[in-house]
Each structure stands twice: as C-alpha cells, then as structure tokens.
Amino acid sequence: MSRELNQLKDTEVKQAKPKEKQYYLNDGGGLRLQIKPNGSKIWVFRFMLNGSSKETTFKSYPTTTLKEAREKRAEYKKLIDNNINPIDYFNKEKEQQKKEETNSFKNVMYQWLENEKPNAKIEQYDWKKNRFEKDVLPYLKNKKMNDVSIQDIVTVIKAKNKTAPETASKLFGYLKSLFGFAVLNGYCERNLLVEVNKTHLITKRTVKHMAQITDKEVLKELTNSIYNYHGSFSVKNCLRLVLHIPLRAENLCTLKWSQIDFDKKLMTIPRNQMKLKNPNYEDFKMPLSDEVISILKEQKRELILHTNNQDYVFLGFDNNTHINKESPNKALKIMEFNREGRKIRLHGFRGTFRSMIDTLDTKGQFTYEVKERALDHHEKSKVVRAYSHKGDYFEQLQELMTYWSNFIKSLREINEL
C-alpha cells in the first residue's frame, strides 16, 4: 500500500481509457481506480485490519468523484485507526437507516391499514384510510414510531375534537389499534394510547335536532304556503313532495326519474345512495300515494316544457343538474318559516313526520318499526338487525304513507281529519 497520498489528478482519472485487461491507477493510502475493459471505472479501497487484508468499493466514477473518494478514504481511515472494520460499520449504518425508514409512522400506518383491509367492508376501509391521511398524517408523517409522544396523540385528537367529536373518538380507537399492531411487529416498545383516558380528550357531543314543526295549525300554514308558492316549479314540487314523503335532503334533491315507477306507484333508491349503505339491507323502497304521483306527473310535464334534461326529478336554475338543497331552504325562509315555533328546513320535515304521526296514530294502527322504516331507520342492535332487516313492511308502509298523505291533503283543504 503506497503511503504517498493524492497521486492522481482529475484529468488523469477522466481521460483513463480501457485496455484489453483491467488495470488500476493508484491514488495512495489504499485507494485506487479500477478501469475495466468495458470502460467502467470503480473506486477500490484496500486496507489492513488485525493482520488481514480487506477490500471494498466506493461506487463508480464519475458517480463518486476523485474528491469524494478521498473523503471516503479519510473516513474509513479514522475507523481503522480505532480498530473498527469500516465495512461492517457502514453495513450496520445502512441497515439502521433502512430500519428507520421502515419504522416511520407513515409506513407503519399503511402496513396497519393493509392488515385491517381483509376484515373491513370497502366503504369502512376507505373511510378509515381517508381520515388517517387527512387528520393524522399531517401531524405525524415525519415521525418515527418510537418518537411519537403522548402529546402528539393529544394534538391530533384535540384538533379533530373541535369539529367532529365522534370522528375524534373513532380515531382514538384506531390509533390504539395501530400502536398495538406496531408493538407486536417490533416497531415501538409500548402502546401510548393505553396510557391515555379518552374521556379527558373528547367532549361529549351535544345532539342538535333539526328544527321541525309539530303544531298542527303551523303545519297547516306551511302546507298551504308550499302549495301556493309562486317561485321555481322545481322548488315548489320538491317541497310539496317532502311534505308527503320524509326523504333526507340529499336523496330528495338527487332523486332521479329512473327511481320512480309510475305503474307500480313505487320509489326505489339504491342502498349505496342512502345514508345507511350497508349492503346487507335491501334498496330503499317507498310506496307512492295518489297525491305524490300527481305531484311527480306535474313536475314531469313542467320539465318537458322547459328542458330536455330528463335525468333528475328536480333541476337547478341552470337545468343542467339536480336542485341544490339550499334552494328549497331559501324558499321556506321567504315564506317566513324561519322564526321560533315556525322554523323548518328541508331535513326537518322528517322530524315533523315522525312526531306528528305518533300524535295522529292514537289507536296504534302503525307499528314503531314501520314508522322508522319510512325514515330508513334500522335497529342498531346486531341481533335485532339480523332478524328484522329482511322483514316485509311494504304493505304496512303503503298504508302508513297513504294515511300521512291524506292528512297533508286535509290540511290543504282545511278540513279536520
């Protein structure tokens, strides 16, 4: 090994040509450039340690320049002087770096999500993945699992708790599961979430019920105001329909003609378009009263006169897409149903229906289950759900909706039921 250092020049390295056999250009101190017949140039470093000769490479030229190769030689020399094998040292360093990259919160999170995927429904998995990417990663993506602190978790949960306590509660549970997965797979030593009391982080949600009208006389005023409304025909008929059928605002405004069967007097909305998207439940089916059929036929006639768009039942002002739910809400405000005791918005018609039908049904003609099914409400108990979701309530539902529709008509006619 030549003791004289820095024997080579940049031009010499750059201009070195291949020969029939490989050869070396020495820079001293164990560093030399290997030139192969195919023209490749590789930095080779040879050294002695504990009486044994060893050799390693510093990648190729010009990826590693002459200056960088010399710096690498000096770095290796310091380790050798301390009786440390530089090859073993840097291999361990690479392994540690790779382990740290694998040990990032982001990487472990995606591993955990993949582990969860086989046991979750598609919509549940997508929701979970979306929430982690939006609500957790912005805070923890640059952290290693072992570097995540309890305070980091507190920050994530409190941030979400400000706008969505229920989601914050779910995230807490999911994070607890993620850290349990990380402990089992050796990414961290303890599950931080075990040490945190969730109730200290998450405020209990105060349920705000939608404004609804439960006074019969006020409902009579509302019914007549809607039937006599002189604004957009789509807004008018949208409000008339929701008087008779307690649809959610989203389903009402996006209702399509393909979901209406005039011959069978039936509305069918695919399960995946309902709030409860559980595929184990059948599509939402609603029998249509004669008055509802009349409203829909009038709406269809108006659309034929004003537009070629025959997709959505209720169109927006540009006739290109479905009506915006704020349009009927604005109409209700114009009709002055925005004051205490008279306040109602589109979603509130569901509460009005549910409250009034209980008041009207003094003889118990309609079961609780049928009244709930009109709103597409289902039992939360898994045991009850297993036996009830396939029950055929259609005939009972038909009687209920005819009864309700006749009641609404009676208000318009200002007759007592």
Q: Which residue has the higher pLDDT, 265 or 122?
A: 265
DSSP string for 195-243: GS-GGGT-PPPPP-PPP----HHHHHHHHHHHHT--S-HHHHHHHHHHH
Per residue in 300-319, pLDDT (tens digit) is 999 998 888 789 999 988 87
Per residue in 200-255, pLDDT (tens digit) is 888 765 545 556 788 899 999 999 999 999 999 999 999 999 999 999 999 999 99
CATH class assigned to 216-412: mainly alpha
Other Cβ atoms less than 10 A from the Cβ of 242: the count is 23
Q: How does residue 392 score in pLDDT terms, banded at 50, 70 and 90? A: low
Give the phi and the psi of residue 105 in degrees, each rounded to 5: -55, -40
Range in 7-11, 291-295, 380-384 with the lowest mean pLDDT: 380-384
Contact partners, residue 157, CB within 8 Å, separation at least 6: 168, 171, 172, 175, 201, 202
The first and second tokens of residue 25, run together, are: 């250009």
8, 261, 378 from 297: Cα distances, Å: 93, 11, 31
Question: Rounded to whole angstroms, how far apart are CA atoms 114 and 132?
Answer: 13
Question: Rounded to whole angstroms, how far apart are CA atoms 231 and 239?
Answer: 11
Question: Rounded to whole angstroms, how far apart are CA atoms 182 and 104?
Answer: 11
What average pLDDT is seen over the chain?
88
Say if residue 119's pLDDT is above 50.
yes
151, 167, 176, 240 from 203: Cα distances, Å: 18, 11, 18, 39
Q: Which residue has the higher pLDDT, 183 or 103?
A: 183
Say if residue 362's pLDDT is above 90.
no
Q: Considering only CA atoms, which of 28, 22, 23 is closest in space to residue 9?
A: 28
- Which DSSP letter does residue 120 get? S
Q: What is the mean pLDDT of residues 375-379?
A: 83
312 three-class SS: strand
Beta strand 260-261 with 23-28 is unpaired
Give the N- to C-terminal CA distance of the chain in Å, as an integer. 110
The structural domains of the chain, with segments of one domain joined by +, span: 10-99, 105-200, 216-412
Percent of the chain with pLDDT over 70: 92
* Topology (CATH) of 105-200: DNA polymerase; domain 1 (1.10.150)
Q: What is the mean pLDDT of residues 136-165?
A: 91
Say if residue 388's pLDDT is above 50.
no
pTM, full prediction = 0.52
Separation of CA 167 from chain center: 11
CATH number of 10-99: 3.30.160.390
Question: Rounded to whole angstroms, how far apart are CA atoms 261 and 242?
Answer: 18
Say if residue 178's pLDDT is above 60.
yes
